[in-house]
């Protein structure tokens, strides 16, 4: 994994966890590249997770209107630049 130019003080235990995580991610990517079924499964999984996260965010916004993000007149959901 690449962690940018930030220097990290890593313990041996944390380094082992990072290596295990790196290998697991590499296996997932390799499986996705090797089989269309695995690729479709990952896409489906990601779509389900994103839909759940978006629904949870909408619920939080409904419960607390101060959490709502400003919307642009053109319907774009990107933040409105503050320098205008």
11-66: pLDDT as tens digits: 888 888 989 999 999 998 898 889 899 889 889 999 999 999 999 998 988 888 77
Q: What angle do CA 83, 76, 78 make, to 5 degrees?
A: 50
Query: How much is the pLDDT for 84?
Result: 47
Position 75 in a domain = no
Instruction: Please report which confidence band the pLDDT of residue 6 belongs to, taking 50, 70 and 90 as the band edges.
Output: low
pLDDT number for residue 19:
92
| 5 in a structural domain | no
Position 58 in a domain = yes
Q: Which residues form the domain of 46? A: 36-65
Residue 55 lies in a domain: yes
**Position 52 in a domain:** yes
Query: Is 45 inside a domain boundary?
Result: yes
Q: Which is higher by pLDDT, 9 or 50? A: 50
Please indicate, yes or no, if residue 60 is contained in any of the structural domains.
yes
In a domain, 61, yes or no: yes
CA distance 41 to 34: 13
**20 vs 74, which has greater pLDDT?**
20
Domains: count for the chain:
1
At 67, which helix (H) or strand (E)? none
């Amino acid at each position: 994994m690449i962690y940018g130019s930030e220097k990290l003080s890593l313990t041996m235990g944390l380094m082992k966890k990072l290596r295990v995580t790196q290998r697991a991610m590499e296996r997932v990517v390799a499986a996705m590249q090797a089989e269309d079924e695995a690729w479709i499964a990952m896409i489906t999984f990601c779509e389900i997770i994103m839909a759940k996260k978006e629904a949870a965010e909408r619920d939080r916004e409904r419960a607390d209107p101060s959490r709502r993000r400003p919307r642009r007149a053109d319907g774009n959901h990107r933040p409105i630049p503050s320098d205008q």
